[in-house]
Amino acid sequence: MIILLPIVTIGQNYRLDSITGSNGLLEFSIYDNYGNSIEDYYNFSTINWKYENNYDLNNNKTESILFENNLGLWQEYMRFNFTYDINNKLIISYQDNWGSGGSWQPSTKNTYSYTNNYLTLSEYYTWTNGQWDTTQKSEYNYTNGNQTQVLYSNWVNGTWVPIQKNERVFLNNNISTETYFSYTVATGWSISFSADFYCNNNLINNTIYGISMADLSQFSNQVTEMVYSFGDTYNYHYSNYNIPTNIESISITKDRLFKIVDILGKNTKAFKNKPLFYIYDDGTVEKRIVIE
């Protein structure tokens, strides 16, 4: 009998603890022993979201279910499924929406193509009348290994029509600035807005998050702050931890209690008859409810 064990990366890693900004964003995540985020809690003004994530033996995220909090109850909202090739590169992703009949309904699909290990094309499809219809594509260009441009086009009356492009400037392989352009036939390309990025040099090795304000997974360095030209600023907060060097060294240990939060992700005191999350300094989380 062959026993498959998870691949364990050796060394130091970094994980995203929270994102703060004008709308709240990521409040905290719960991680497994491989540094994979298995639950992410978000707050957008009055909206509370939770992602529950599953991974394969290579620590690739295979499923992410988004729940929305409705009057204190978590209700299924969206589901994302991811498929990878033998080189662990994402090749297909699906989005399902929770339907009124109480089941998942197909919504969108993305396919991804690579050249020399670089993502060069993604195509977006919508589920319409029982089939996948081509809707949009994204084309990626690189300079010195850095993704410096993304061109978005819509499929209109049998032809591709450009609608938006993002151009990125890198300094020392860190993303520095991203400028967003929109396109119209009458005026051509015009700048919509821009974002300035601030990075440190800590590599992110294997963490893929549910959502963020920008798709940062292609950047090798951590983004610590993003400032939009229209005034919004978002700060990314990380912690470091040691990845187990072998299977035997994996253990769950608790250190000092860091904070207690409720199901909405808000700080609270210890109450009875109420489900709470006890978050410790080492990143472990306990779900507790004390019945009186």
Per-residue pLDDT of the chain (292 residues; tens, 9 = 90+): 333 333 333 334 667 788 888 777 888 888 887 778 889 898 887 889 999 999 998 888 999 999 999 888 999 999 999 999 998 899 999 999 999 888 999 999 999 999 998 899 999 999 999 999 999 999 999 999 888 999 999 999 999 999 999 999 988 888 899 999 999 989 999 999 999 988 876 544 333 333 344 555 556 667 888 889 999 898 888 776 655 544 444 344 445 566 677 766 666 777 666 777 777 655 566 666 665 5
Residue 218 has φ and ψ, to the nearest 5°, of -85, -5
Amino acid letter for position 177: T
- What are the structural domains of the chain? 11-251 (2.40.128.720), 253-292 (no CATH)
Rounded distance between C-alpha atoms, residue 28 and residue 237, angstroms: 10
Residue 35: its pLDDT value, please? 78
| Global pTM value | 0.74
pLDDT at 283: 57
What distance in Å separates the CA atoms of residue 229 and residue 77, rounded to the nearest whole number? 32
Neighbour-count burial of 280, counting CB atoms closer than 10 A to its CB (0-12 exposed, 13-18 middle, 19+ buried): middle
**Tally of CB atoms within 10 A around 54:** 14
State phi, psi for 9 to the nearest 5 degrees: -80, 145
The residue among 54, 8, 59 whose CA lies nearest residue 249 is: 8
